[in-house]
Amino acid sequence: MIVTLDGPAGAGKSTIARTLADRLGFAFLDTGAMYRAVTLAAVRNQGPWDDPTGLAELAQGCQIEMDESVVRLNGEDVSKLIRTSEVTSNIHYLADNPAVRERLVELQRAFAAGKDIVSEGRDQGTVAFPHAECKIFLTASPEERAKRRVLELQARGEQISVEEVLEQQNERDHRDSSRDVGRLEPAFDAIDFCTDGMSPEEVVERLVAIVSERSLRANG
């Protein structure tokens, strides 16, 4: 069974998708980490930022391996290195590139083949797995997402205001929602789920119930 979990940055998707996969005993795929890994390769290669074909070739040559908690780029554990702000601010060069997206979607499908999986991203229900049995589109209001992100950064010792986070978040949302391919949007058959005012535990409980109900329907 394939469960897709899409939605904007900061809706709590990663933690929730991971916990949901654990609870269901499913594999977990963090597709944002794949975009981050090819971006890290491009940062190290200094682009070529103004050459989409060159970037696509670079991505094509990247060997990406994913497991539950480790991301490997050409055999190197880059799980931490892909989370820097330099990577985040350059992702759009790779994520807006149709040839790069095509390659990563191929890898996502190969990863999911024959598995029960929770796959998390922006286009999992629309592009990567249009036939997924259960599609969730997870949202939260921009203010709530920004507040959560500030708390997360404070816990890591970084000081940043809600206003600053909100500005970066709006920019990222706009880019993610307006790209030509693989844009952030709910699949027509996705369940819209707003997490405002809910704890991560409550969200996971509710999602476990939704997936179980879908699974019964798919098998019945």
Does residue number 122 form part of the binding site for ligand C5P (CB under 6 A)? Answer: yes
- Which residues have CB under 8 Å from 209's CB, separation 6+? none
Least distance to ligand C5P from the beta carbon of 205, Å?
23
- Residue 161 sits at the vertex; the CA angle it makes with 157 and 165, to the nearest 5 degrees, is 95
Burial of 173 (0-12, 13-18, 19+ CB in 10 A): middle
Does residue number 79 form part of the binding site for ligand C5P (CB under 6 A)? Answer: no
Q: Which of 63, 98, 184, 195 is nearest to 141 (CA)?
A: 195
End-to-end CA distance of the chain: 13
Does residue number 62 form part of the binding site for ligand C5P (CB under 6 A)? Answer: no
Site for ligand C5P (CB under 6 A): which residue of 16, 42, 79, 123?
A: 123
Site string for ligand C5P, 85-104 (x = CB under 6 A): ------x---x---------
Site for ligand C5P (CB under 6 A): which residue of 7, 121, 125, 186?
A: 121
Does residue number 176 form part of the binding site for ligand C5P (CB under 6 A)? Answer: yes
Least distance to ligand C5P from the beta carbon of 219, Å?
27
Secondary structure class of 150 (helix, strand, coil):
helix
Amino acid at 94: L
Alpha-carbon distance of 220 to 215, in angstroms, equals 8
Nearer to ligand C5P, 182 or 186 (CB): 182
Does residue number 18 form part of the binding site for ligand C5P (CB under 6 A)? Answer: no
Task: Give the footprint of ligand C5P on residues 154-173 (CB under 6 A).
Answer: 172
- Please report, as ranges, the residues that interact with ligand C5P according to CB under 6 A: 9, 31-32, 35-36, 91, 95, 121-123, 172, 176, 182
